[in-house]
Chains A and B, each alone.
Chain A
């Protein structure tokens, strides 16, 4: 079996009396899209926070590319190749779309303690940033300030920034949240294009998208993984149907 790019080992996190992550273990193989689904408040975002390094787990380990990163802060994990998008869009509004992506390229292109040359004139940074924007279809908007982009475009930019990091694992927290039907279609197509090239841990509410994209799905309920498997197996799993899918159908 291939060495997984990400392994979560008995992660636990409590907020006050509430166990939001309750012994989560799962693996993401290289090139795999591993989706995490679960009802609202199941602890998906909290899980992503612990993988990316925004939150420290109370117990358990996060092993990334064979290295225990549990104690490393967000920035260090990012430099190791762990890229995340935010459920609530967090692009730099005063930067242009291009500069948002160029910042991510810059982070992996040598020292940033360079004081003399204007960063905007560094062709190598701009070229790769432009490529990432083109990849998500934002090329024509490169010169726009991110604050002036539409909501859907900002979601695309989030993705472009993550891709510009040239990550070994993408953590995507509800990349389709708030996108209209057309934008959703475009974003799903885009994610499908990434399939096989990037390992992705995908948290998503849109079941159609999840079942279309994921190689494997883990179902999170009250902070526990109640099932992991191929989409077909998850669809058929009675426990999942009872706990989660049934609820959707009833609604």
Chain B
């Protein structure tokens, strides 16, 4: 097998399985809900991968962008707008703008404070959502129904929604791959490996990283739009910082080396959480230590694991 084919084999297999899942005995309501959730969080994890694996910045505030996308659905719903062709661009744009504004501040300080400042801005978004009593405050906001597409209600259909999520997951994955391979991505990768070298040939990393962060924000906003529609309910917990931590875990567990790692990590963790949740109400007692062990011992991520043995 050639290298390119081999690299594509795992993504092809996984996306193929997701496409076939409804006909492989996973067509039941709970299974479809779970899969949709996994794919949506996969999109969010991909967005974070662009920041961490692509630009080399560790962010602990990605859930804020996800939540802003979801709250865009809420705000427009409250205003009587449920048309996806309007709601989606607003969700993406709002999240990207938030990323642009907060990223501009966080990146200026450079290095480690980026983690803390993204965390702080994420918390700001969380508290803001909690204080918005018109949108339910802490209790959240229940949507009347899913968004319409050009007036049609086909997002209500379980199967249609499944393939919408799958299509957007695949699209986000291909987008991330394309971005990293482009001129823009080459500068990002260079700045990640050695910022001084990038500067010495004439690239100031700041604007490239900032744009990457904003694009990632937009992708997370898209995931937020989908998540709001999947659950037909939005609450401040969408923006909780623990979710940012979860997303980071997905990215690392999958492996930083390729965007597919984020997809794999998201699937693995959503399924793991579901399974542990069935075992015990206190599943975090198991999940937390598993996370620690994964960090200590699984350095290349799941994708790396496959490589080594494959």
Contact with A along B178-209 (1 / 0, CB 8 A): 11011111110110011011111111100010
Residue B211 interfacial (CB < 8 Å): yes
The CA of A73 and the CA of B187, in the complex, are separated in Å by 17
Residue A90 interfacial (CB < 8 Å): yes
In the complex, the number of residue pairs spanning A and B with C-beta atoms less than 8 Å apart equals: 95
Contact of B182 among A92, A93, A108, A117 (CB under 8 A): A117
Interchain CB contact under 8 A, A112 and B181: no
The CA of A102 and the CA of B198, in the complex, are separated in Å by 12
Q: If the complex has contacts A94-B193, A95-B189, A95-B190, are A113 and B184 also in contact, measured as CB distance less than 8 A?
A: yes
Q: Which of chain A's residues have a CB closer than 8 A to the CB of B184? A: 112-115
Considering only CB atoms, which chain A residue lies closest to B178 in the complex? A116
The CA of A90 and the CA of B197, in the complex, are separated in Å by 6
Contact with A along B138-179 (1 / 0, CB 8 A): 000000000000000000000000000000000000000011
Contact with B along A101-113 (1 / 0, CB 8 A): 0111011100111
Q: If the complex has contacts A92-B194, A92-B197, are A114 and B182 also in contact, measured as CB distance less than 8 A?
A: yes
* CB of B89 to closest CB in A, whole Å: 18
Residue A35 interfacial (CB < 8 Å): no
Interchain CB contact under 8 A, B182 and A118: yes
The CA of A94 and the CA of B258, in the complex, are separated in Å by 14
Residue A197 interfacial (CB < 8 Å): no
Interchain CB contact under 8 A, A79 and B202: yes
Considering only CB atoms, which chain A residue lies closest to B197 in the complex? A90
Considering only CB atoms, which chain B residue lies closest to A53 in the complex? B199
Q: Count of chain A residues with Cβ under 8 Å from any Cβ of B? A: 37
Considering only CB atoms, which chain A residue lies closest to B205 in the complex? A75
Q: Which of chain A's residues have a CB closer than 8 A to the CB of B178? A: 115-116, 118
Q: If the complex has contacts A108-B202, A112-B183, A119-B181, are A103 and B190 also in contact, measured as CB distance less than 8 A?
A: yes
Considering only CB atoms, which chain B residue lies closest to A81 in the complex? B202
Interchain CB contact under 8 A, B200 and A106: no
The CA of A54 and the CA of B181, in the complex, are separated in Å by 29
Q: Which of chain B's residues have a CB closer than 8 A to the CB of A73? A: 199, 204
Q: Which of chain B's residues have a CB closer than 8 A to the CB of A103? A: 186-187, 190, 198, 201, 203
The CA of A76 and the CA of B201, in the complex, are separated in Å by 9
Interchain CB contact under 8 A, A120 and B181: yes
Residue A26 interfacial (CB < 8 Å): no
Interchain CB contact under 8 A, B190 and A92: yes
What is A's interface to B at a CB cutoff of 8 Å?
52, 54, 73-76, 78-79, 83-84, 86, 90-95, 99, 102-104, 106-108, 111-120, 122, 161, 165
What is B's interface to A at a CB cutoff of 8 Å?
178-179, 181-187, 189-190, 193-194, 196-204, 208, 211
User: Can you list 14 A-B contacts (CB < 8 A)?
Assistant: A76-B204, A78-B200, A86-B200, A90-B194, A90-B197, A91-B197, A92-B189, A93-B193, A94-B189, A95-B193, A104-B201, A107-B202, A113-B184, A119-B186
